[in-house]
Chain A
């Protein structure tokens, strides 16, 4: 038998008169109510190994694969019926373990490590607390009685010394060191807090759109730094008040 012809014979799907739902036989195989017509020239003995492997690959395409069973089933004519030349031949379903195609390992794309920019740690300036010594003179009066004995007079009665309380104000300069708020590294103190603006209302600003208007003469424009009089505003240096 010509191999190619055989291939053709083999690969042609079995011609079923009417596809019927399969049901399970008592031996656990699947069968059909109406048996299909199979080419009687078909002979499994003629199949080469190559053809067998082809058959397996063919079965992997799905024909004869019964849902729910891990087997590949196909119709095979009974031995007695092989000699019949034509006509409807009874056949039985033979099942072979289903060919599970070898799975190529899934291609997992090699992921290049994402380039994460190295972030330099934010440089938060370390603010030393500003300390200014506040010095005020503190004066405390120191009073001591000073007694004088009036000399020159001698009597039997001893004259009591005349005492006067004399006070001297003694002053000492006492200094207290007052420190401003310092921002420690990593603390959550916002610049607004630093500047003491927490109690101030949030600003809303409106910037008017410049409109065309009269322009300066070019010599004045060069002097003023703009040809637009409405942009000729004084520049005041200093902080906002």
Chain B
């Protein structure tokens, strides 16, 4: 846990950044569905490129601050996947 004296605001930041990941991830999923039936739509393709980049940046920013979101995104020398609380321990991701 990365709580410090400013634990509350830190928590808010974590939530906001996680929300950013969820929102960009959902928009990405939805535009993928649209592209399945409209593969030639250039507007949709531009939206997809933009949203993919936004999602990557949101994930990267979150993981830099709060650790890996997925087990296969662990970077570094130690296995940091176990550092954060699991869902049954109050973890939210």
Contacts and interface: CB of A to CB of B under 8 A. Distances in A.
B37 A218 contact: no
Interface string B30-57: 1100100110010110010001001000
Given A219-B23, A221-B23, A222-B22, A212 B30 contact: no
Interface string B56-87: 00000000000000000000000000000000
Contact of B41 (A212, A219, A222): A212
A215 B26 CA distance: 13
A222 B26 contact: yes
Nearest to A227: B30
Interface residues of A, number: 10
Q: Is the interface of A mostly helix, strand, loop or mixed?
A: loop
A128 B38 CA distance: 49
Given A212-B41, A215-B47, A228 B34 contact: yes
Interface in A203-240: 210, 212, 215, 218-219, 221-222, 226-228
A222 B37 contact: no
A215 B23 CA distance: 13
A212 B44 contact: yes
A218 B43 contact: no
B27 A218 contact: yes
A228 B23 contact: no
A109 to B, nearest CB: 47
B23 A210 contact: no
B28 to A, nearest CB: 9
A210 B37 contact: yes
A212 B40 CA distance: 11
A210 B27 contact: no
Contacts of A222: 22-23, 26-27
B32 to A, nearest CB: 11
A210 B38 contact: yes
Contact of A218 (B26, B34, B41, B44): B26
Interface string A181-220: 0000000000000000000000000000010100100110
A228 B26 CA distance: 12
Nearest to A219: B23
A221 B26 contact: yes
25 contacts: A210-B34, A210-B37, A210-B38, A212-B38, A212-B41, A212-B43, A212-B44, A215-B47, A218-B23, A218-B24, A218-B26, A218-B51, A218-B54, A219-B19, A219-B23, A221-B23, A221-B26, A221-B30, A222-B26, A226-B30, A227-B26, A227-B27, A227-B31, A228-B30, A228-B34
Interface of A: 210, 212, 215, 218-219, 221-222, 226-228
